Structure 1
Amino acid sequence: MRHARGYRRLNRTHEHRSAMFANMAGSLIEHEQIKTTLPKAKELRRIVEKMVTLAGRGDLHARRLLRSRLKEDRHLAKLMDVLGPRYKERPGGYVRVLKAGFRYGDMAPMAIVEFVDRDVDAKGAADRARLEAEEVELG
Structure 2
Amino acid sequence: MNHKNKNNHLGRKYGHRKSLLSNIASSLIKKKRIFTTLAKAKTLRKYIEPIITKSKINTIHSKRNIFSYLKDKEAVSELFKDTFHKVRERSGGYTRIIKTGFRFGDQASYSLIEFVDFNEIYTSKKRVKSIRRSRKKHSSNNNNE
Superposition CA RMSD, Å: 1.6
> CA, structure 1 residues 67+32, in 2 after alignment: closer, same or farther (shift >3 Å)?
same
| Shift >6 Å, 4+ stretches | none
The one-letter code matched in structure 1 to 2:61 is H
How big is the shift at 1:119? Answer: 6.4
Residues 50-61 of structure 1 aligned to structure 2 (within 5 Å): 50-61=50-61
C-alpha distance in 1, partners of 2:87/2:23? 22
> CA, structure 1 residues 61+10, in 2 after alignment: closer, same or farther (shift >3 Å)?
same
How big is the shift at 1:64? Answer: 1.1
Contact 2:33 2:112 in 1 (8 A): yes
Contact 1:56 1:87 in 2 (8 A): no
SS at 2:88 equivalent: coil
Larger radius of gyration: 2
> CA, structure 1 residues 59+4, in 2 after alignment: closer, same or farther (shift >3 Å)?
farther
Q: Which runs of 5+ in 1 are unaligned?
A: 121-139
C-alpha distance in 1, partners of 2:25/2:49? 10
Higher RCO (CA 8 Å, separation ≥ 6 residues)? 1
Give the corresponding residue for 2:9: 9
The percent identity for this pair of structures is 38
The one-letter code matched in structure 2 to 1:49 is E
- TM-score, normalised with respect to structure 2: 0.77
Structure 1 residue 20 corresponds to structure 2 residue 23: no
